[in-house]
Amino acid sequence: MATHYINWADVRDQLDPETVGHLDIPRAQGAAEEAEARFDNRLRRHFTLPFTAAGDAEAYALAKKICAKWAAAIYLRQDHSAEGTAEDTWYADWLDKDAESFVALLETRRSPPDAEAAADPLQYVPSDGVTDPTERSAIFSRANITTGSGHW
């Protein structure tokens, strides 16, 4: 599977070379592919995926961060699966938690911080008064528009 957000180098950037040591590139690339599949499966119902840098640069940058953090966490857990304790995976837990905070931004589709609060939370939709949804018609249909040249 070809990756579309990150590769093994992005996974390496999230890890400390002093503590991890030599990076196993095929395993890091596998973790990157697993993280991207997880990202796509999780956000598929909200968005048309994959994001592209040309289509939506901000979403693409968030996807890159999320996938890199998840992949690094996967790599660390695999590294400590044979030996080590739960305390050794604290950084992997932190990476997952940080990635989840970015995913929450995408899932909740929050309004920008400078957006003004609505004065009235209700949304008023024009209606012609018909309660049966199968009989409804648009208020602004041609039948409801006055013809002529001087009506505007």
92-97 own/partner pairs: CB under 8 Å, 24+ apart:
95/14, 95/69, 95/70, 96/69, 96/70
Q: What is the chain's pLDDT, residue by residue, as a tens digit (152 residues)?
A: 556 899 999 999 999 888 888 899 999 999 999 999 999 999 988 888 888 888 888 889 999 999 999 999 999 998 877 766 677 788 899 999 999 999 988 887 666 677 777 777 666 666 666 667 666 665 566 665 666 665 55
**pTM above threshold 0.75:** no
Question: Which helix (DSSP H) or strand (DSSP E) does residue 90 occupy?
Answer: helix 90-108
Q: Is residue 62 part of a domain?
A: yes
Residue 36 belongs to a domain: yes
Asked if residue 113 belongs to a domain, the reply is: no
Residue position matching structure tokens 């994001």: 51
Distance CA 7, CA 64 (A): 10
What integer pLDDT is reported at residue 117 of this predicted model? 74
Asked whether residue 25 is assigned to any structural domain, the reply reads yes
Q: Which two tokens stand for residue 19?
A: 């503590």
Range of the domain at 12: 8-108
Q: Is residue 70 part of a domain?
A: yes
Residue 48 is assigned to a structural domain of this protein: yes
Q: Is residue 14 part of a domain?
A: yes
Query: What's the domain count of the chain?
Result: 1
Whether residue 35 lies inside any domain: the answer is: yes
